[in-house]
Structure 1
Amino acid sequence: MPRLPGYAPLKARLLAALRATKAKRSEYDHLMRHLHDALKRDETSQAESPQADVDFQPGETWGTFSDLVMHGAMGGRSMLEQTVYLPVSAQADPSSSPHRFLAAKLGRVLRT
């Protein structure tokens, strides 16, 4: 995390105003995006992470909750991704949420 670019609220507002992003990115969104990109570029972490090939028969489907898993498909035909916003306070165990995990790593509350 120390190598990730810092969050700039003014830049987040500007990108949203220019419609370069769908909405103003929070610090959480900023960190998750840069962590994902950094891990995909890091050949060491890619080589050490377990790889799984999953073959599906025609008509089969699967679902997953993956906010704490750095992931990326290396192949495949089609995918539908759905993001659902669930406030940390509404989660069964807010202290173990990805948002709180990142805040603990930073030693402070994340900015919105």
Structure 2
Amino acid sequence: MKKAFGEVPKQSEASILGGRTISLSDPEDIAKLEQNTAELVQEWEERAVHHKQAVVEQHQADDVFEKGMSRDELFAECLAQTKERFRRDRGIDPEAPGWAQWVLSDAEKLFEERLKKGS
């Protein structure tokens, strides 16, 4: 396989294929590739569609505005949602050193959007 495809870079577990990495080191994928490449590609595409739908649905659920929240409660909720999105969508630990400012910036943007929706 390495001759044909070269080195295959490692990908994050949070891939567009339903959380599964495309890897030619996976014995199941290698067998499917050798037996029926079109079927394997179709399976990957179906996983991608299902994953995208799940992400959209989760984001819609995340964006529900809870009336009656204080600004502090709303910001805390936005920060929690942002951290979860970093974990889920980007495969990044938002508590790890170096990510705090990016997480905070995204949480502030979400907070502002939610404030506008609620007014």
User: Would you say same fold, with TM above 0.5?
Assistant: no
Q: Which has the larger radius of gyration?
A: 2
Q: Give 1 or 2: higher helix fraction.
A: 2
Task: Name the structure, 1 or 2, with higher relative contact order (CA <8 Å, separation 6+).
Answer: 1
